[in-house]
A and B are shown apart, each in its own frame.
Chain A
Amino acid sequence: MKYLCLVYTEEAKLAAMSDPEFEQLDADSLAYDKEMRDAGHFLVAQALQSVHTATTLRVRKNKLSATDGPFAETKEQLCGFVLIQAKDLNEALRVASKIPSARVGSIEVRPVRDLAESEPWDRRG
């Protein structure tokens, strides 16, 4: 089963970090990507540019509107994502809890809708 780990942080908090701290976070993130890849959990991960670069689109009655900024103004902003493979939510939470950004922000773990892969619980319990 696939889980999307959405990484939210306060951009102000990231901006307030010192250069060495920020570089360390990047290095830790890359190292953990590799760890996840070696363990067979990693599918894809990306960090995002600042929320001020975001554009939100809507098509209503065949008419396109584009507006500046994110879909919702919140205290924490989406700043990256990791798509992982895990056998169940417990494993997904275990993998996601070690994503380095969890120490600065929060990680929302969302199961991916994938009907072809859905199956009942692991019967071995």
Chain B
Amino acid sequence: MTGEPISISDKVEDIYRAESRRILATLIRLLGDFDLAEEALQNAFAAAIATWPRDGMPENPRAWLVSTGRFKAVDTLRRRARYGAIEAQLAKSPEMTTGEFEEAPELEDDRLRLIFVCCHPALSPDAQIALTLREVCGLTTEEIARAFLSAAPTVAQRIVRAKSKIRDAKIPYEVPVRGEWHERLEIVLHVIYLIFNEGYSASAGESLTRGELTQEAIRLTRLLIALLPEPDSEATGLLALLLLQESRRTARTSPDGEMVLLEDQDRSLWNRDLIAEGVSLVRRALASRNVGAYTLQASIAAIHAEAPNSSATDWNEIAGLYDVLLRVDPSPVAELNRAVAVAMRDGEVAGLRLMDELLETGELRNYSYAHASRAELCRRLGQNDEARKSYARALELMKLGPERRFIERRLQELGVTALNRKRDALNRTH
């Protein structure tokens, strides 16, 4: 190897991070099979690592990788050609075996096609989300499992089943026809919302947020809106919500990577451009007759975005909006957020009562934020034993470094060292 092998391999890694899902989406269209496309993607990047240090970077790395992946897949099919059916498949696909790869405008839509296939109504809702996170966003099965509050093998099986249904029932690689847009879009919006959440509050690792995922979710929402045959208020509301949440990203982490709560954030760090765009989108969405869950959540985010500080925030308006949200789209997480808003409006005692009722239903038993929120209210009320118990439970459930350290700091402030915790645990078991 000559030249600068380290910098080239860094570049390959950058391209993998930025482009691998887009390349995969195109390979799926060209090859007509998820697994074949995934293998082709890995082979293409392996070829890049082997040849780029020697030959230099191609002018258009993405086009090179797609083209290489496709030829590698053809090789794979040839090697398997002792099966007659695959010979037949090859023979029917002349464009797979000949011709140079060219960057056509429709390639940019491949991810949208992939999204609509992953969010196909013939797949179960759980499979739609898992498949989109895996194939479109490149999350690992483990990360998806945490986002879902479920077990990794369950998620893995869900993805395998979904892929085989796509192949065997022949779900086409296309965007829906006009008459089916609305119902298909609803599913896609929900999946994008969950993708954003994974980026906004990563499920594991050392980085609190994953900018590429939130950016991806925003880009996909913008693309969707641009492609809609007519404006959709919930798509607009979703974009508003994502922009308003994203506007706080820099302020949510301290320079040394620690988590900063909303009330402690330096609001001068909030991105005013994103807030301005988000607020104007919320207004547009609210003006339509169909005000849905995303528009309501965006309205709540807009109140935070425009408030000068936590105590000057209109918590009454926020609690009221959660009431409406719970009617439109009831969920235990929205109940939890409403309880937090009530605590800010009516005091910790009222908020804690709501939270305890909610935790009793068991639905949020494995939701770390429910325990962390409860702990925070107990701490403010001086109920240190209760606070410690809930922080400890939250800590058991948290996988993200900055969040864990935040909780550990709180526990230390309450006078509990790791050693004490262990002794407490031992005492409890005796």
A contact set with B: CB distance below 8 Å: 1, 87-90, 93-94, 111, 115, 118-123, 125
Contact = CB atoms under 8 A, between A and B. Distances in A.
A120 B73 CA distance: 14
Complex A-B, nearest 6 residue pairs according to Cβ-Cβ distance, in ascending order: A120-B32, A88-B172, A121-B32, A88-B170, A111-B169, A121-B173
Contact of A120 (B33, B106, B171): B33
A125 B113 contact: yes
B291 interface: no
30 contacts: A1-B170, A87-B172, A88-B170, A88-B171, A89-B169, A89-B170, A89-B171, A89-B172, A90-B172, A90-B174, A90-B177, A111-B169, A115-B85, A119-B32, A119-B88, A119-B89, A120-B31, A120-B32, A120-B93, A121-B29, A121-B32, A121-B170, A121-B172, A122-B173, A122-B174, A123-B29, A123-B30, A123-B95, A125-B106, A125-B172
Given A89-B122, A93-B122, A125-B113, A119 B171 contact: no
B176 interface: yes
Given A93-B122, A125-B106, A119 B172 contact: no
A5 B172 CA distance: 18
Interface residues of B, number: 24
Contacts of A1: 170
B230 interface: no
Contacts of A88: 170-172
A93 B177 CA distance: 12
Interface in B335-375: none
Contacts of A87: 172
B33 A90 contact: no
Contacts of A111: 168-170
Which residue, of A87, A89, A94, has the highest number of chain B Cβ atoms within 10 A? A89
Given A121-B172, A123-B32, 7 more contacts: A1-B170, A90-B171, A120-B31, A120-B93, A121-B29, A123-B95, A125-B174
A120 B95 CA distance: 13
Please indicate which of the listed interface residues A89, A119, A120, A123 has the most CB atoms of chain B within 10 Å of its own CB: A120
Nearest to B85: A115
Contacts of A119: 32, 88-89, 92
Contacts of A94: 177
Interface in B376-418: none
A123 B113 CA distance: 12
A120 B168 CA distance: 10
A120 B89 contact: yes
Nearest to A93: B122
B89 A122 contact: no
Interface centre among A1, A90, A111 (most CB of B within 10 A): A90
Contacts of B122: 89, 93
A44 B142 CA distance: 46
Contacts of B30: 123
A111 B173 CA distance: 17
Contacts of A115: 85
A94 B172 CA distance: 13
A123 B95 CA distance: 10
A8 to B, nearest CB: 17
A81 B171 CA distance: 21
Contacts of B106: 125
Nearest to A121: B32
Contact of B93 (A89, A93, A123): A123
Interface in B85-117: 85, 88-89, 92-93, 95, 106, 113
A123 B33 CA distance: 11
Nearest to A1: B170
Contacts of B168: 111
A88 B93 CA distance: 17
Nearest to A124: B174
B89 A90 contact: no
A109 to B, nearest CB: 8
Contacts of B176: 90
A48 to B, nearest CB: 24
B298 to A, nearest CB: 32
